Structure 1
């Protein structure tokens, strides 16, 4: 599914890649931002280190490169950097967090968007799907462990002030819903994973930048979209991500088992204006849903030899 690149081409791509993602301003009618990148590993590299360097999360980098050892990927291995992505299909305003994607989007008023990986709630402590706003911003916050966490760790102090032991990091933005907070962390390895008690954590450098420009009252919309569809250059793209169970399997070093729901996708496609007029590559669609590597794959205007067929008409 992904084309090979030459050594010279890789060197050029690496020279062009910034360490972290910059803001993008999608053009009218475009749903995709960013560009796919590649990286050739050195002996000392690890997946967590590379994830932070390229502003990616652990699970999304592992999903894009199945079979890679996260701690010993080895020297000279070509990694796909999933830096190109379909924007969420919700009102693009304020902060949008897609749980399945383990990623936050901030849609600025000037039409540009910045995106960062996040850590979210683990099993039984899932981050909820909500619509709310940023109600309070705190620099150098004090953490008061809630009763739910104190029940697990009764030896915690009543409060933890600013400093390296504070799990909120240096910046926190309260969501006007329960006790949920978007914050930094003193454990960056948790970014891009499902490890929290429901709050949303970012790399320290990402929350610092976000904190500086997000005002109180900013809308917050938390969704859980494993499958995304979007347009670019008049072509339709599909992007598939692991769900909760599959992400847990990836973290455990196991091979995820993905459910391929072709009928469900067909229903969604029929709801997209213009999609019923396209020729679609169903072999590629099925492979994308099965692999779930988290990158946009063009599914319309399939190459010669693909399993091409139009969508069925509406009843």
Structure 2
């Protein structure tokens, strides 16, 4: 009985630790001039751990592990250059980056760090926290625009009207898009979309989550479905981006 209690206690501790590790909300540095954040900061330590390790299971891909730990594909591949992204051996130690530098930008609203494939959201509610999520951005020939804009509209279960340029691109591959893609799980916008003040660009969910953390879009910003589901109700129309 004592052994069972000990095992149960260890499992609970493991679950608590995992939940803390994958958290997307981090406390801002007490000194406004500091930019380093990480999970260990919530426990009062001034210097967060740079990384930690998890162990690949038999059914895992490196991309599955990235999604579990709030990372994008490029980030986890760069952190584990010798690990096969599709077939990591069972028991392989996988490095999980656990600290990052806040972008050199006003800590207000939504901040997109394109080279990092990452979004930061400052709620401005007095909680002194920042929320961060991996994102996909535009390809080299369809770059995500630079500059300041705002959240113009928010839509649940959006439809998608493909621009003529994207319809032509797909048609060249023999994939003929309809004039309007209905809402639902097969919609490339996913179940949530936030239109930006820059015409034609959105922050939205995706039906291809393995592409999160890469330059694969036509300029829009894609998020994991579970990430934008949490972020969507927190971000108001008019929020700075």
TM-score by length of 2: 0.82
Which of residues 170, 183, 186 in structure 1 aligns to 2:207? 186
Cα shift at 1:178: 2.1
**How far 1:15 moved relative to its partner?**
5.8
Matches within 5 A, 1:85-100: 85-100=100-115
| 1:78 corresponding residue in structure 2 | 93
The alignment yields a C-alpha RMSD, in angstroms, of 1.6
Deviations 1:135-180 (A, max 9, x none): 0000111100012201112421010111122100000001100211
Q: Give the equivalent residue in structure 2 for 1:173.
A: 194
1:13, distance to aligned residue in structure 2 (A):
7.5
What does 1:91-240 correspond to in 2, within 5 Å?
A: 91-109=106-124, 110=126, 111-154=128-171, 155-220=176-241
Q: Is the 8 A contact 1:121 1:195 kept in 2?
A: yes
Q: Which residue of 1 aligns with 2:6?
A: none
Distance in structure 2 (CA, Å) of the matches to 1:156 and 1:171: 20
Instruction: Confirm whether residue 24 of structure 1 aligns to residue 41 of structure 2.
Output: no
Name the CA distance, whole Å, in 1 between partners of 2:158 and 2:107: 29
Paired position in structure 2 for 1:273: none
Q: Secondary structure at the match of 1:214?
A: coil
Shift of 1:129: 1.2
3-state SS of the aligned residue for 1:52?
helix
User: 4+ residue runs of structure 1 moved beyond 3 angstroms?
Assistant: 12-15
Partners of 2:15 and 2:99 lie apart in 1 by 15
- Report how far residue 22 of structure 1 moved: 3.4
Question: Is the alpha carbon distance of 1:15 and 1:80 closer, same or farther for their aligned partners in structure 2, counting shifts above 3 Å?
Answer: farther
Gaps in structure 1 of 5+ consecutive residues: 1-11, 221-315
| CA–CA distance in structure 2, aligned partners of residues 175 and 22 of structure 1 | 23
Deviation at 1:20, TM superposition (A): 3.0
Q: What stretches of structure 2 of length at least 5 have no aligned partner?
A: 1-12, 40-50
What is the SS of the residue equivalent to 1:132? Answer: coil
Q: Is the 8 A contact 1:14 1:39 kept in 2?
A: no
SS at match of 2:58: coil
Contact kept in structure 2, 1:13 and 1:38, CA below 8 Å: no
SS at match of 1:24: strand
3-state DSSP class of the match of 1:17? helix
CA distance in 1, matches of 2:101, 2:230: 22
Tell me the matched-pair count: 209
C-alpha distance in 2, partners of 1:147/1:27?
46
